[in-house]
């Protein structure tokens, strides 16, 4: 006996299945109006069971990625592109504002934002690693998310990787602010910490 057990069962019907035997009473698979399941258990396994069916397909199953791979890649590419520039603008403005508030001199705005933009290049590395990690995760349903993903090493690593990269960015921000505005390391660290925390909440609200 087991609970929360999920399985993928594919039944090939029609002429594409070499073991399929047609007869005059064979149904027209283009006009299915109902489906009946007959389940049988041995007496020793009899219990109060619930059967849940997810992703029931008629015809040849083709994954969403196979059907719309270009659309999916295009959507996520545009989303990542927009997120990059929004983050750049949000963090850049916050860093500039707190640098000036604490007596620092930002100098050329163009140079300031270009340097901060270079820090965000590490997000490309983060997205690449995260994509590779999540590509190893198994397929899930809403019911199996906790069972198959939350305990998976790739999901756990990807989750903690986000905080690691944010901390790395905060360190690079501090180095950039110290170099650009000539403030002390303590002030640079304070500016970076405040801007990073506020930037995190701003991006949550915007993205």
pLDDT in tens, 133-160: 777 776 665 556 666 777 778 878 887 8
Interatomic CA distance for residues 34 and 58, integer angstroms: 11
pLDDT at position 192: 93
**159, two tokens:** 């989750």
Angle between the 109-119 and 153-181 helix axes, to the nearest 10 degrees? 160
**158, two tokens:** 């990807």
Closest by CA to 185, choosing from 197, 196, 195, 173, is 173
Tokens 């997120």, residue located: 83
**81, two tokens:** 């592109």
- pLDDT: which is higher, 117 or 139: 117
Asked if pLDDT for residue 184 goes beyond 80, the answer is: yes
Contacts of 193 (CB under 8 A, 6+ apart): 170
Task: Give me the mean pLDDT over the 76-92 stretch.
Answer: 81
pLDDT at position 16: 67
Q: Which long-range contacts (CB under 8 A, 24 or more apart) does 201-204 make?
A: 202/90, 202/94, 203/83, 203/86, 203/87, 203/90
Domain boundary assignment for the chain: 65-206
Interatomic CA distance for residues 20 and 105, integer angstroms: 78
pLDDT at position 1: 44
Confidence grade of residue 69 (pLDDT, cut at 50, 70, 90): low
For the chain, the straight-line distance linking the first and the last C-alpha, in angstroms and rounded, comes to 45
Structure confidence by residue, pLDDT tens digits, 93-102: 999 999 999 8
pLDDT at position 182: 84
Asked if pLDDT for residue 185 goes beyond 90, the answer is: yes
Tokens 């490309």, residue located: 124
Confidence grade of residue 32 (pLDDT, cut at 50, 70, 90): low
pTM above 0.85, yes or no: no
What's the mean pLDDT when you consider all of the chain?
A: 77
Asked if pLDDT for residue 171 goes beyond 90, the answer is: yes
């Amino acid at each position: 006996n087991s609970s929360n057990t999920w399985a993928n069962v594919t039944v090939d019907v029609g002429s594409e299945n070499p073991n399929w035997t047609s007869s005059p009473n064979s149904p027209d698979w283009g006009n299915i109006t109902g489906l009946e399941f007959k389940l049988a258990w041995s007496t020793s396994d009899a219990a109060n069971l619930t059967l849940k069916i997810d992703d029931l397909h008629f015809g040849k199953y083709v994954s969403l990625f196979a059907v719309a791979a270009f659309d999916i890649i295009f959507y996520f590419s545009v989303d990542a592109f927009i997120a990059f520039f929004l983050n750049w603008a949000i963090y850049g403005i916050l860093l500039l504002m707190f640098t000036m508030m604490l007596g620092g001199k930002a100098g050329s705005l163009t140079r300031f934002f270009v340097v901060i933009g270079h820090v965000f290049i590490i997000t490309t590395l983060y997205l690449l690693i995260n994509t590779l990690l999540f590509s190893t995760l198994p397929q899930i349903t809403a019911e199996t998310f906790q069972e198959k993903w939350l305990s998976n090493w790739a999901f756990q690593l990807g989750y903690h990787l986000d905080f690691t990269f944010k901390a790395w960015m905060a360190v690079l921000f501090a180095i950039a602010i110290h170099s650009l505005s000539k403030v002390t390391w303590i002030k640079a660290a304070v500016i970076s910490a405040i801007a990073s925390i506020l930037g995190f909440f701003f991006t949550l609200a915007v993205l």
